[in-house]
Amino acid sequence: MNTKLVKTGKIIDGQEVIGIELTNTKGTYVKVYNYGTIISKFVVTNKQGEKQDIVLGFDDFDQYLSEGYRENYPYLGAVIGRYANRIKDGRFNLEGLDYQLAKNTGYDCLHGGKTGFDSRVWEVLSTIDPSVTMRYVSPAAEEGFPGNLVVELTFKLTDEDELILDYKATTDAVTPINLTHHSYFNLSPDGGPIIHHHHRMPASYYLEQDDTYCVTGKLIPVAGTHHDFLAGKPIGENWDTELGYDQTYVLDKAYGELTLASETTEAASGLKLTVYTTEPVAHFYTAKYLDVKNGKGGAHYEPFGAFCVETQHAPNSVNVPSLPSTILKPGERYQQTTIYKIEHQ
């Protein structure tokens, strides 16, 4: 087992950007940058005994900053905060006070605003083979959010091929918080569309969205719809061929329990990605808007060329009291764990 720090030579906001490489005894390899805690590589061994990278990203760090990539920014492999997904009209009321956030997708606030946690340099606190803990201090009023928020995120790679993400946060004023990670997965050894990946989710309901993809709070049964992944099926079976999936699924689980969020397999590689989480929902996204040129090996990442399982609390729940609360108060601690586990079929 090994943890290695690699300098990029890049300085952003006066802080050095570092790559942290985690390797277990099986040779599974994960590379994370302290910029946005981006998971840039997740290399595993497939059933042919070949090394295969299962996440989308770039070979060179500078490409994450390129103008072309940022124009149609898909948040490849980055942490999302202070608030994942959309907040309706970029507004909420907290303890009688109205807060206006940055609007960066139409009239709404998406993934924390114009400059979210995905575009910040995190401090590397510690490395213990093979793991790394990073911290970001989000000042009060950043992107319009109240309270100074201190966030720590630990990545740990086990010999069972589990990549464990442990999040912790504290605040000095009442504030909403909803963190997730936005890795784009493709389990095929040849890349391409993910329509034949077999996907299962223990979720009997998904959340209604309005015409700007903001959650309303209404739960819709998956039974009898193409949203039903309870028994598992190919992702492209009976789906909307133009939209794919961009929905929040309510997991069948006890609140706070670390249990299954999804299970995805791919026949050619023989790989199975299982996601476990303490969070109440998983946002399933099949990358409709993906259009990234010059990815790894010069690849062009196109729509439906990856899938995301974004474990979190419900989007816009700061405005929907019926949903589990995303409010953190002084003296409390935000905690969540998400695990990506790789196995063979």
Q: Which tens digit of pLDDT belongs to each residue from 124-181?
A: 999 998 999 999 999 999 999 999 999 999 999 999 999 999 999 999 999 999 999 9
pLDDT-derived band at 298, boundaries 50, 70, 90: very high
Q: What is the pLDDT of residue 345?
A: 84
Closest by CA to 283, choosing from 136, 83, 99, is 83
pLDDT at residue 159, as a whole number: 97
> What number of CA atoms fall less than 13 Å from residue 209's CA on the CB side?
16
List active site positions: 182, 310
Quick one: pLDDT at residue 333? 98
- What is the maximal distance between C-alpha atoms in the chain? 59
pLDDT at 208 over 90: yes
pLDDT at 335 over 80: yes
- CA-CA distance, 248 to 320, in Å (whole number)? 14
pLDDT of 256 over the 80 cut: yes
CA–CA separation, 180 vs 82, rounded Å? 9
Asked whether the predicted pLDDT for residue 1 surpasses 90, the reply is: no
CA 320 vs. chain centroid, Å, equals 22
Q: Which CATH class is domain 2-344?
A: mainly beta
Whether the link from the prior residue into 135 is cis, omega within 30° of 0, is: no
Residue where the block lists tokens 């009688």: 96
Confidence at residue 34, expressed as pLDDT on a 0 to 100 scale: 98
Residues 228, 234: Cα–Cα separation, whole Å: 11
> What's the pLDDT score for residue 80?
98
Structure-token pair, residue 79: 């942490």
* Spans of all domains in the chain: 2-344
pLDDT tens, residue by residue, 19-69 = 999 999 999 999 999 999 999 999 999 999 999 999 999 999 999 999 999
Predicted pLDDT at 311: 98
User: Is pTM beyond 0.75 here?
Assistant: yes
